[in-house]
Structure 1
Amino acid sequence: MQTPDARPLRVAVLDLYNGEPNQGMRCIRDFLEGVAAPSVSAPITYDIFDVRQHAEVPGLDYDAYISTGGPGSPWDGLDQPWEAAYFDWLDGLYHHNMTAAPKKHALFICHSFQLLCRHFGVGEVTERPAQSFGIFEVHRLSGGSEEPLFQGLPDPFYAADFRRWQVVQPDHERVAQLGATLLAREQPYPEYPYERALMGVRLSPEMIGVQFHPEADPQGMLVHFRRPKQRDKVVSAFSEARYQRLIDRLDDQQYLTPAYETIIPTFLRRAVAATHPVAAV
């Protein structure tokens, strides 16, 4: 419940969708505008920065940051002004959290997770042997057993996973040097002899990246994928069976709802606690 005189939590959203229509931004706005009822003790204001089209990045004067998913390869920005600006912002945020207060929490989703891992050398960022598209299990690693954003979720839990790229071959020496924690990996696929990709990394006490989409709204996504145009696209790219499994899992609350109701609300509450100590009481 919000405290009436609480200062707003100022959130910067780094939009990496490159101008392409998507469901991710709608879902993130729902949380920040209170539609998804995040239950934080302060009002929220936010600004959106168009990273890939206009090389826009926020300053360090925001309380919290959410960096989105996006289309294409996480290597598309090589030698591009937008990627240089993004990585400069990322270094600045990391340095601030190492040396100053109040600490600023940041959540990196899918495409942004891959960029985070690339920039800090957490692991190899490669193209996936086959595209992941659906609602799949996320399995905790030992380091994820105490992860605050996963508390209350079953192990494994389910999450929305739509990607052509992956982070594999974690550099454990570099992870230890950073003081980072590997949190989770994808479900096993017995029919494929491939390494299971990382699904979550806590880079620091304030900065976390996840490969999946914690913002994915089950009911909104269900409406989206039931549209004939979207159905035809999924069936054409995959199969009728894959499409029906997606619909069934979106329609069943045991799958996506727990992660949707836990991860981003917990992230926002922790951001409030870090920057609004009075409101967080």
Structure 2
Amino acid sequence: MNTDKPEVRVAILDLYDGVANEGMRGFRDILDRYKAQHGLDLSYQTFDVRRKAQVPDTSFDVYISSGGPGSPLDSEGTEWEKKYFRLIDKLEKHNRSDAPQKKHVFFVCHSFQLMCRKYGFGDINTRRSPSFGILPVHLTEAGRNEEVFEGLADPFYTVDSRSWQVINPDMERFKELGMEILALEKERPYVDLPRAIMAIRFNEYFFATQFHPEADAHGIKTMLLREDKKKEVINEHGESKYREMLERLDDPDKIAHTQSTIIPNFLDEAILSFCHAER
């Protein structure tokens, strides 16, 4: 380990409300791998935001806010959400200050939806049917120039698992706040429905995806091969969709590539700027 590198502290905000999931392990695996690859003095701490109303302070260097179950609307006014948004407001205030070391945050799925509600970006509603699978995500023009997506194909494949969606963006609101839509869900020419927003850059330091870039092929495959999960997926989506998911998990250019690209690129952006600020 390089002793001349500064300590980097990452806060993982767990919004799963105690529900078993693959996401938290995915974040830890990415951070452990990144730490080893770069020889960093990197540590992370997990906060149980929804179940225990645990929220970190602003002393961490990087924040990752997870997905989670349930409605992104029903939590409005709850104590945990008030604390969560107070943290976001403090981080935004810090980033607007002249402090040299900025706070970078990555928001995933449920967190993405909460942030879209906070900013009033569009409609948030339930999908006609849940989205679940290894699905293509299409880049916008802004997304094709986005450094966090550098190295990805267009479209690229990722794990999409959600019953809720953010659609019908208020483009005037985006323009007003200087924020950009970076990706949209797969094209469905046979369905007359709006495409969900799949990635947004809120500002120089806040990045969000409505899909799960932390998902890894091995973990998802292990889950899908469980008899209970196999039955659940086949009952909901059909045998052919189940087989398609298993095939896509074995493709190194799909989930494995996405997992090894997006969050590591974000960490490069966050941690390299942090290390430069420390010098």
Q: So what's the TM-score if we normalise by structure 1? A: 0.94
Q: Structure 1's 37 and 244: CA in aligned 2 closer, same or farther, altered over 3 A?
A: farther
Greater percentage in helix: 2
Match of 2:83 in 1: 85
The equivalent residue for 1:62 is 60
Asked if 2 retains the 8 angstrom alpha-carbon contact of 1:40 and 1:268, the reply is: no
Residues 1:42 and 2:40 are matched in the alignment: yes
Q: Verify the 8 A CA contact 2:134 2:255 in the aligned structure 1.
A: yes
The answer to whether the 8 A contact 1:272-1:279 is kept is no
User: CA separation of 1:41/1:146 partners in 2, compared to 1, >3 Å: closer, same or farther?
Assistant: farther
1:193-212 → structure 2 map (5 Å cutoff): 193-212=192-211
Contact 1:38–1:265 (Cα < 8 Å) also in 2? no
Partner secondary structure for residue 242 of structure 2: helix
Number of the residue aligned with 1:254: 253
Q: How many residues of Structure 1 are paired with residues of Structure 2 in the alignment?
A: 278
Per-residue displacement from partner, 1:156-209 (whole Å, max 9, x unpaired)?
Answer: 111110001111111111111211111010011122100001000000011000
Q: CA RMSD in A?
A: 1.7
Task: Provide the C-alpha distance between the structure 2 equivalents of 1:86 and 1:26, rounded to a whole number of angstroms.
Answer: 22
The equivalent residue for 1:223 is 222
What residue is the counterpart of 2:3 in the other structure? 4
Q: Write the deviation string for residues 196-225 of structure 1: whole angstroms up to 9, x where unpaired.
A: 010000000110000110001112211221
Letter in 1 for 2:157: Y
Asked whether the 8 Å contact 1:105–1:206 carries over to 2, the reply is yes
Task: Quote the residue 2:186 is aligned against.
Answer: 187
Letter in 1 for 2:62: A
Deviation at 1:273, TM superposition (A): 1.1
Give the CA deviation at 1:125. Answer: 1.2
| Structure 1 gaps, min length 5 | none
Alpha-carbon shift at residue 100 of structure 1 (Å): 3.6
SS in 2 for 1:21: coil
TM-score scaled by length of structure 2: 0.95
Consecutive unaligned residues of structure 2, counting only runs of 5 or more, are: none
C-alpha change, 1:171 and 1:136, in structure 2 (3 Å) is same
Name the counterpart of 1:234: 233
In 2, Cα distance between the equivalents of 1:23 and 1:37? 20
Query: Is the CA contact (8 Å cut-off) linking 2:35 and 2:41 kept in structure 1?
Result: no
Query: What per-residue deviation string (whole Å, max 9, x for no partner) do you get for residues 64-114 of structure 1?
Result: 000000001111212210111111111111221122421111100011000
- What is the correspondence of 1:122-201 to structure 2 with a 5 Å cutoff? 122-201=121-200
Q: Which amino acid aligns with 1:51?
A: V
Runs of 4+ in structure 1 off by over 6 angstroms are none
Give the Cα separation in 2 of the matches to 1:130 and 1:142.
Answer: 28
Give yes or no for contact 1:49–1:56 (8 Å, CA) kept in 2.
Answer: yes
Q: Distance between the aligned counterparts of 2:228 and 2:195, measured in 1?
A: 32
Show the counterpart of 1:244.
Answer: 243
Partners of 1:125 and 1:76 lie apart in 2 by 12
CA distance in 2, matches of 1:103, 1:272: 10
- Residues 39 and 265 in structure 1, CA contact (< 8 A), matched pair in contact too: no
